[in-house]
Structure 1
């Protein structure tokens, strides 16, 4: 449902959980981007409000990929949280319905400076950085939020949010982490992830444009997400994906939040169905 320009209501039938975690990312070859407005169950559906904008922050109709998860299934590690107090002066724990950790740890968020946060993700502690996968999405704000450093084995991860001028800005955000499971916290479907830190590097095509080979995925369906990582103001999303024999090829585009121009960046790609 599209109630207004750049605003969409996405409905997942039969999901009535309160809490959980929602993420969205734009899809396609332009510098548009999307954020989550909110999410909540209504009768027998989970309704997720999505807002998409052009690079300047103006509402813009766009294609996107959205996903929702509530708890996890399988033996992998999966954590999520909603950081909904972007200007808190003290470290805080999300409400119980707004956080989950398969290792039963308790997550927390601590604001370090404007638009910069430390986030304790219990399930990530002790996991090699290249094996950790994250989604981070701005919530209720037209902003770009992402991990601002490579994942840490300490469990304390760093998140930064920037506005459409590339400046740090306080923002609520949702975050999810997965290891040895899909980015939806499930192991009963095929999944995989790669990053610019992986042994198999993405193929650089031109400035801000990459091709990522996901070997053995074996189906031209499911869902693919990409996001920038690191200290720069870059943001990234999937432009398209397709199959060749048993391998999936994902094309990723990255742009500068400040200049809105294509820019080379570090990023991660995840796929599942």
Structure 2
């Protein structure tokens, strides 16, 4: 049975059981005022000297208002192993996402741990070539931590879950608690109450494996909705065998907001489901009101143009969508061309490391 069919059988056969066993954090006290720390960066050098400043043209964060000269840096700890330092945003919660920027050959990146050190936030990143061998690789990374409700427009929520599906930390823009369920063998269900549009699915989902001690890949296997409640089904595989395997993971849902949740600024952000070539309306959003253009450019390759969003410092993340062990990365770093943000390409691979067509959730933001 394929992973997609197995996942479908799981949902159809034991959906109520999963909901019944869903893990919900304890009820919180009255919501605190809304606050947030966040940052994004691009690690441009696969073998950076210790303390290397990450690409200044592709990084920004909430600290820059108070500390405009301080920049995110990276340490290279060994083959495929890095620690990113976001200054002045130390926190014990939050979530991160990372996407490999591969150049040549199939590869992916995942998260290790993240934690405060003094006033800074450190995020561990581990990158692998296909087959699970650690590999020095460029990558894009984003981190965010929020508290308190968010005003309209849009919806936003995230979850950091362990390999058993238990929530480590989470956020929901409505103030409601998120929930998770474990379906066995690397299958998970995440519920984000109230963040959807109320009819159908809309928005973008990013998922990243978060497993410090083993190579893992995680993706969005499927989505569902009930009223304004959004459901995301996550599947994870072993990085060596590409077979289903339990893994910690992070998941961020964002609708009419950037991947780190903040707006106004930024005012320029968008997302799209690539690989379908005619994206579903709810998965195709551009804050400038301009079109997002998805262009097939080869087997497993898709160029994505975010019209009018390529201004000042920008950022992109990618997550594969659908059942099976296929995964997606960035073939090269994105560029601002005129006022457009251009990704060339989103590139996807199957369980043998061969390029293969696969849908992907793609998100892009400017700091402006």
Q: Residue in 2 aligned with 1:243?
A: 336
Q: Structure 1 runs of 4+ off > 6 angstroms?
A: none
SS of the residue aligned with 2:188? strand
Going from structure 1 to structure 2, the CA distance change for 1:146 and 1:129 (only over 3 Å counts) comes to farther
8 A Cα contact 2:293 2:307, kept in partner? no
- Of 225, 247, 255, the residue aligned with 1:179 is 255
8 A Cα contact 1:144 1:162, kept in partner? yes
Taking the aligned partners of 2:299 and 2:159, their CA distance within structure 1 comes to 33
Q: Residue in 2 aligned with 1:106?
A: 177
Q: Residue in 2 aligned with 1:54?
A: 129
Going from structure 1 to structure 2, the CA distance change for 1:219 and 1:147 (only over 3 Å counts) comes to same
- Of 212, 216, 224, the residue aligned with 1:143 is 216
Listed as ranges, the matches of 1:207-222 within 5 Å are 207-219=299-311, 221-222=313-314
- Deviation of 1:123 after TM superposition, in Å, equals 4.2
Listed as ranges, the matches of 1:1-273 within 5 Å are 1-29=75-103, 30-71=105-146, 75=152, 76-84=154-162, 86-87=163-164, 92=166, 94-95=167-168, 98-127=169-198, 131-140=202-211, 141-153=214-226, 154-164=229-239, 165-187=241-263, 188-189=265-266, 190-196=268-274, 197-198=279-280, 202-219=294-311, 221-239=313-331, 240-250=333-343, 251-256=345-350, 258-272=351-365, 273=367
Taking the aligned partners of 1:17 and 1:123, their CA distance within structure 2 comes to 26
Between 67-76 and 176-185, the greater mean CA deviation after superposition: 67-76
Between 150-159 and 111-120, the greater mean CA deviation after superposition: 150-159
Q: Show CA shifts across 1:18-54 (max 9, x none).
A: 1011111101333111110000001111000111111
Taking the aligned partners of 1:270 and 1:124, their CA distance within structure 2 comes to 18
Between 202-211 and 128-137, the greater mean CA deviation after superposition: 128-137
Between the two proteins, the alignment pairs up a number of residues equal to 265
Q: Show CA shifts across 1:215-245 (max 9, x none).
A: 1114263111111111132111222322333
Taking the aligned partners of 2:293 and 2:223, their CA distance within structure 1 comes to 16
Taking the aligned partners of 1:129 and 1:58, their CA distance within structure 2 comes to 40
Taking the aligned partners of 2:342 and 2:80, their CA distance within structure 1 comes to 28
Q: For the aligned residues, what is the CA RMSD?
A: 1.9
Going from structure 1 to structure 2, the CA distance change for 1:218 and 1:60 (only over 3 Å counts) comes to closer
8 A Cα contact 1:129 1:150, kept in partner? no
Taking the aligned partners of 2:151 and 2:91, their CA distance within structure 1 comes to 19
**Unaligned residue ranges in structure 1 (runs of 5+):** none
8 A Cα contact 1:142 1:163, kept in partner? yes
- Deviation of 1:56 after TM superposition, in Å, equals 0.8
- Deviation of 1:179 after TM superposition, in Å, equals 0.9
Taking the aligned partners of 1:123 and 1:147, their CA distance within structure 2 comes to 19
- Deviation of 1:119 after TM superposition, in Å, equals 0.9
TM-score of the aligned structures, taking structure 2 as reference length: 0.68
Taking the aligned partners of 2:110 and 2:305, their CA distance within structure 1 comes to 27
- Deviation of 1:201 after TM superposition, in Å, equals 5.9
